[in-house]
Structure 1
Amino acid sequence: MTATATATAIATASAATAERAETRTRTGGPEDGSKILEHVLGWTLVVVLAMLVTQAGLL
């Protein structure tokens, strides 16, 4: 396989992968929902974990 043929094959495969990625169904993630709620729940988890570690005497 020549360098040009290899480059063409890679470009075609990468275009097909990008097209497939765009048509996939979204399953949620950081873009969905409230960012404020996500931050509040995250910091609540941090505080609760810190309290448990402190109460258990691990720190």
Structure 2
Amino acid sequence: MTATSATSATAHPNPARARSAGTRSGGPSDDRPKMLEHLAGWTLVAVLAMLVTQLGLL
């Protein structure tokens, strides 16, 4: 083990976390407001409730 590899290995207590702080996996970005997501979710709940009521399943 060289002196440079020893210092780079101990520079951060969790090297995997230090590298992943700025990397992206290519998934959806969290830049947009969450209001649209909440509105779509509650709309789905309301439509499902109406369907269950109309079919007499509850």
State the TM-score, normalized to the length of structure 2.
0.56
| Number of positions where the alignment pairs a residue of Structure 1 with one of Structure 2 | 47
Displacement of 1:52: 1.2
Q: Report the identity percentage.
A: 47
Per the alignment, residue 24 of structure 2 pairs with: 25
- Runs of 5+ consecutive residues of structure 2 not aligned to the other structure: 1-9
Residue identity in the other structure for 2:28: G
Displacement of 1:32: 2.9
State the TM-score, normalized to the length of structure 1.
0.56
Q: Which has the higher helix share?
A: 1
Structure-to-structure mapping, 1:16-55, within 5 angstroms: 16-26=15-25, 27-28=27-28, 31-55=30-54
**Ranges of 4+ aligned residues in structure 1 off by more than 2 Å:** none
Instruction: Tell me whether 18-27 or 34-43 shows the greater mean CA deviation.
Output: 18-27
RMSD: 2.5
- Runs of 5+ consecutive residues of structure 1 not aligned to the other structure: 1-10
